[in-house]
Amino acid sequence: MTLIDRLRLRLGGFDALALMAVIGLICGILAGGSNILFRYFTESSYVLWATDQSGNTDFENADWLLKLLLPTIGGLIVGLLLQQLNPDTRRVGVSHVLERMAHHQGHLPLKNAIVQFFLGGLTIASGQSVGREGPGIHLGSTTGSLIGQRLKLPNNSTRILVGCGCAAAISANFNTPLAGVVFAMEIVIMEYAVASFIPIILASVAGAVMSRIFFGSDPAFIIPSSMDVQSLWEMPYFLLLGFICGVIASLFIMLTSQVRRRSKDWPVWIKTTVGGTSVGLIALAVPQVMGIGYDTVNSSLQGELLLTILALSLAGKFIATSICSGLSMPGGVLGPTLFMGAMLGGLLGTVGSLIFPNLSSDTGFYAIIGMATLMSAVLQAPLAGLMALLELTNNPNIILPGMFSIVIGNMVVSQLFKRESYWETQMKDRGMHLKVSPMKQVLRSIGVAGVMTRSIAFLKEESTQQEISVALQDKPRWILIKDHAGVVISLMVASDLGRYLIEQEEELERQKSKVKAKDDDNADEAQLEPEQQTEISHDEDSSEQPIKLMEIPANRQDIVAIDLQATLEEAYDKMEQRKISAAYVYRITHNKEERIYGIVTRDMITDQYIFSKTQTG
């Protein structure tokens, strides 16, 4: 067995932490690099039409004709290009990553990432109301997936690498490595386990380091240095903030879903053109809705925006993003939710300071909590929102009101409005489901290579006693029976075959004893019955006679093939479909030959699930 084969087998089990950590670190560097390239691509495009003297995006002071035509023409171009592609290739963004994780074991195609890079970048650069974080997560996750596919790693390892790429992308975009880890675990991997936690941490750190090398160590947002709750009487107001964020998040999810369903049968180019035109028309009155809008967010955090600007920006961004996202423009929704949260928080903070000037905290304090609350409510990711809040502010004083507001916002969405997260709703609109049973969640994190038994031997369906004796020398647990063409047709318990041989030998000894007894009684061999003569002759020659393994009394069962890269979830599903209880694990070699590595049974899968639950319980 080659070194690569040994590594693959090891990665399928639980003792591969050190190896996965190294691969995760490499993945983080590459995923961070892909996000840096994407950021350069989008930001360099802005220079062509909407920058101020310092080089910052400045759609607010752009000519009205540019505000109208840039997103309209950009949407048309993006749509015409998308229209030429296969429908499967058009799928991009975080929802595409989640779909591939749920139904394709994390195998992300390269062509979709290329579409995401260029057309997603063009969408952002043309001022559409979308964010760059969603495309960044797609690019980072694809980087991890391609590493796993290229190395032909087990699918459970590839899934971890997808999480590594996601964490590195979040970390590179926001300069928040801890939030990147939590986001990847909570949204993409959907579990917390040491086997995935450590590689994802290293990948997230690598993504942050890459970002700091190229863009410096400043976080994505400029946060006021001193922020604290002025009085505990503010806590009811933070409850109100959380409640309103939950209502806005629920309305956003519902409106986006309605737009998506009503435009389902529209041609792609019409969708993107309508989306771009809508942004252009809204931008005539509220230019802040164009682009990523982080300059407006920073102004809100500094308390520099008027009440009317905050209200108009919130309403405009809400409508524009609902239309763009509902019409499936290739951009992200994470950035717009942060924008809307900052506007809403700033709005409530300004109103609060006017009503209770002695009790209200700084406006920026409410803006940053509003960002985290609305984002977490839309994505149904409270822990990720809280970690982002803590890491962006580097201020422990924000934890108490932040936790309160975030929990209220998430509960309003899930309990009051009974809504699923934005991405779950998006997948459901496409006829797909994201959630899986707890059992399958555990099984998909374990490779068959880490559970299978290699105690096997191979025999043809007609084998001689000598061939069987050789096969049983190493005391295998299972016998794989092949037909004359070398195709596996059944699985037999090796002990049953050994028992059959013992019984045959005992029968032979009885016949010999019978012959000897008659010889002692001066009985002539010719006086034996013809059937006895035939039986003794056959027994004396039994080592050369073939034994039909499919006919002897033994515990045999049908068996299905499962690839070495598969997870226990795949093996379990395949057994369920065929109504059988065993699978042999194989891999196609570079010579196009099938190489069999071991056996996995339904009982092994069940035992492994129970063991895993015991370890994590």
H-type alpha helices, 151-293? 155-174, 177-183, 194-215, 235-262, 268-285
From 439, 459, 480, give the residue that closes a domain: 439
* One domain, residues 559 and 600: yes
In a domain, 596, yes or no: yes
Percent of the chain residues past pLDDT 70, beyond the cut: 89
337 and 454, same domain (yes or no): no
Residue 55 has a pLDDT of 46
Q: Kindly state whether residues 160 and 241 are assigned to the same domain.
A: no
Over 343-400, what HEC string results?
HHHHHHHHHHHHHCCCCCCCHHHHHHHHHHHHHHHHHCCHHHHHHHHHHHHCCHHHHH
For the chain, give the percent of residues with pLDDT over 90. 55
Which of 48-52, 97-101, 204-208 has the least mean pLDDT? Answer: 48-52
User: Of the given ranges (260-264, 329-333, 409-413, 431-435), which has the lowest mean pLDDT?
Assistant: 431-435
Q: Is residue 99 part of a domain?
A: yes
Return the minimum-mean-pLDDT range out of 80-89, 426-435, 464-473.
Answer: 426-435
Which tokens in the block code for residue 544? 């050369």
CA 596 to chain centre: 29
From CA 342, how far away is CA 299, in angstroms rounded?
10
Nearest CA among 392, 379, 398, 383 for reference residue 340: 379
pLDDT value for 272 = 96
My answer on whether 335 and 422 are in the same domain is yes
User: What does the CA dihedral 393, 227, 240, 234 come to, rounded to 10 degrees?
Assistant: 150
170: its two tokens = 């979040």
Partnered with residue 587 across adjacent β-strands are 595
Task: List b or e across 444-480, with b for residues whose CB sees 16 or more CB atoms inside 10 angstroms.
Answer: bbbbbbbbbeeebbebebbbbbeebeebbeeebebbb
58 lies in some domain: yes
Examine residue 540 and state whether it is found in any structural domain, yes or no: no
Q: Are residues 197 and 248 in the same domain?
A: no
Q: Domain count of the chain?
A: 3
Regarding whether 481 and 432 lie in a shared domain, the answer is no
Which of these three, 406, 422, 439, is where a domain ends? 439
User: What's the pLDDT tens digit per position in 424-458?
Assistant: 999 888 888 777 677 888 888 888 988 999 999 99
Per-residue model confidence (pLDDT) at position 103? 86
Is the separation of the CB atoms in 307 and 227 below 8 Å? no
243 and 196 together in one domain: no
pLDDT band with cut points at 50, 70 and 90 for residue 10:
low
Same domain, 255 and 173: no
CA distance 582 to 599: 7
Do 435 and 452 belong to one domain? no
CATH value at residue 553: 3.10.580.10
> Per residue in 548-606, pLDDT tens?
899 888 888 999 999 988 999 999 999 999 899 999 999 888 888 888 999 999 999 99
The average pLDDT across 395-404 equals: 87
pLDDT value of position 511: 81
Q: What is the pLDDT of residue 528?
A: 47
Whichever domain contains 289, its CATH number is: 1.10.3080.10
pLDDT for position 357? 76
Mean pLDDT computed over 455-465: 91
Please state whether 152 falls in left (phi above 0), alpha (psi between -120 and 50) or beta: left
Locate 22 and state its tokens.
Answer: 């190294």
Based on the domain organization, do 366 and 460 belong to the same domain?
A: no
In a domain, 238, yes or no: yes
Query: Is residue 247 scored above 80 in pLDDT?
Result: yes
- Considering the domain architecture, whether residues 89 and 23 belong to the same structural domain is answered as yes
Range of the domain at 88: 3-215
The answer on 462 and 422 residing in a single domain is: no
The answer as to whether 151 is a domain residue is yes
| Nearest-angstrom CA–CA distance, 605 and 596 | 19
**pLDDT tens digits along 351-386:** 988 888 776 667 888 999 999 999 999 999 999 999
